[in-house]
């Protein structure tokens, strides 16, 4: 924009007694666009923050990648050799075997709760596969017990502990799905009971983990699940969490059948897809605010062109160019959002606002100078 463009624009933006209505309408139209863009940016930022928070919560107890097998057995017998092979990948930072089973836990009352029993390595150092050790309220992954008549230690999620009224030092019993034996006298299977001492509590902020997960020593979990020396799979931590799908495919190719990988994005694909769809729907709805405000721009500028017909004719007779200058430019926003979202919002806003100016600008540009000067 030239200095002349700026001076003319500022001159006509200042209200006169005869043009106060146009100044008011211009202010309202500008405020409408500003409100729409602000709402769009704020809501998009909130949605991005929600997605980031969910990702961080999921990755507290979920690894970047899991190495599993096909088949109903869901077990890896030669897991040590597989572990060494996977650990040789340059993107792998830490790897550990895990056991996943289920059970029915009770603290001695009539109430029992179904839980996921997770067997983990007794590792509390920096090479842990997940960030779960950093979210312990009491105890750690050493599962150290103080009672003599228990099978081992167990760490409970805080929500589960509150419902069971079971805290560190208390005893809980768990019914295992494996190890039940047929009793000919009763004519039915008798389940196997395990007794654990609560040695710790954890709180991740993720309802699913805090509500239904319990942790035990990996070797004890192998006996609990009836896997002998096998494990359910391997948990892997990578240098970059976003590279998990690509690294997973490379590990599958390296290991071959019957091994498979499951990355954290695929495991939670339905959740992330729902959030993405919600973000798109909210953005589309809020963009309509900008579109509605653009109609105000069209009507305001159309009336302004008709009111300033004589002035436009004089400017055209003086040789002012008919080309429309670019007046909608935003170089700074006081919030932090994703670059792609910002580009989409700005492009859509500038596009709508620019299209709204074309008709009145075209109408002004096509005026004949002589006729415009004579216009009453």
Per DSSP, the residues of 229-240 read T-BSEEEEEES-
Contacts of 155 (CB under 8 A, 6+ apart): 136, 139, 141, 143, 198, 199, 200, 201, 202, 214, 215, 216
Q: Is the pLDDT of residue 31 over 70?
A: yes
* Residues 83 and 97 sit within 8 Å (Cβ to Cβ): yes
CB neighbour burial string for 183-215, b if at least 16 within 10 angstroms, e if fewer: eeeeeeeebeebebbbbbbbebebeebbebbbb
Q: What is the pLDDT of residues 81-103, one digit of tens each?
A: 999 999 999 999 999 999 999 99
| Confidence bin at 328 (pLDDT 50/70/90) | very low
Q: Is the pLDDT of residue 127 over 70?
A: no
pTM above 0.85, yes or no: no
| Confidence bin at 332 (pLDDT 50/70/90) | very low
Calculate the dihedral angle through the C-alpha atoms of 66, 70, 75, 81, rounding to the nearest 10 degrees: -70
Q: Both ends of the chain: CA-CA distance in Å?
A: 30
Q: Is the pLDDT of residue 353 over 90?
A: no
| Confidence bin at 105 (pLDDT 50/70/90) | very high
Q: What is the pLDDT of residue 153?
A: 93
Answer positive or negative: Cα dihedral of 157, 162, 167, 170. Answer: negative
Q: What is the pLDDT of residue 23?
A: 64
Q: What is the pLDDT of residues 164-212, one digit of tens each?
A: 999 999 999 998 877 666 556 666 666 788 999 999 999 988 888 899 9
Q: How far apart are CA 15 and CA 103, in angstroms?
A: 76
């Amino acid at each position: 924009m030239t200095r002349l463009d700026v001076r003319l624009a500022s001159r006509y933006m200042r209200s006169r007694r005869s043009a106060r209505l146009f100044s008011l309408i211009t202010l309202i139209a500008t405020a409408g666009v500003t409100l729409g863009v602000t709402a769009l940016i704020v809501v998009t930022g909130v949605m991005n923050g929600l997605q980031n928070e969910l990702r961080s919560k999921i990755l507290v107890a979920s690894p970047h990648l899991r190495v599993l097998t096909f088949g109903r057995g869901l077990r890896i017998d030669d897991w040590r050799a597989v572990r060494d092979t996977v650990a040789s990948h340059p993107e792998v930072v830490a790897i550990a075997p895990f056991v996943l089973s289920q059970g029915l836990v009770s603290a001695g009352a009539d109430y029992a709760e179904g839980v996921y029993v997770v067997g983990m390595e007794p590792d509390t150092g920096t090479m842990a596969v997940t960030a779960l050790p950093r979210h312990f309220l009491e105890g750690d992954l050493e599962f150290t017990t103080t009672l003599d008549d228990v099978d081992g230690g167990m760490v409970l999620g805080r929500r589960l502990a509150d419902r069971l009224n079971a805290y560190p030092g208390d005893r809980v019993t768990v019914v295992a799905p494996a190890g039940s034996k047929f009793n000919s006298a009763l004519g039915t299977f008798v389940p196997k009971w395990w007794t654990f001492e609560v040695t710790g509590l954890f709180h991740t902020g993720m309802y699913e983990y805090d509500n239904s997960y319990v942790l035990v020593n990996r070797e004890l979990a192998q006996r609990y699940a009836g896997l002998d020396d096998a494990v359910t799979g391997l948990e892997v931590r990578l240098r970059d969490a976003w590279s998990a799908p690509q690294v997973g495919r490379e590990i599958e190719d390296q290991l071959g059948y019957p091994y498979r990988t499951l990355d954290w994005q695929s495991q939670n694909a339905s959740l992330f897809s729902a959030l993405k769809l919600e973000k798109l729907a909210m953005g589309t709805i809020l963009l309509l605010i900008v579109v509605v405000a653009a109609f105000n721009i069209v009507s305001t500028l159309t009336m302004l062109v008709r009111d300033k017909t004589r002035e436009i004719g004089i400017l055209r007779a003086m040789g002012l160019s008919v080309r429309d200058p670019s007046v909608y430019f935003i170089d700074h926003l006081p919030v932090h959002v994703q670059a792609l979202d910002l580009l989409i919002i700005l492009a859509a806003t500038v596009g709508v606002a620019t299209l709204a100016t074309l008709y009145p600008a075209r109408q002004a540009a096509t005026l004949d100078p002589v006729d415009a000067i004579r216009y009453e």
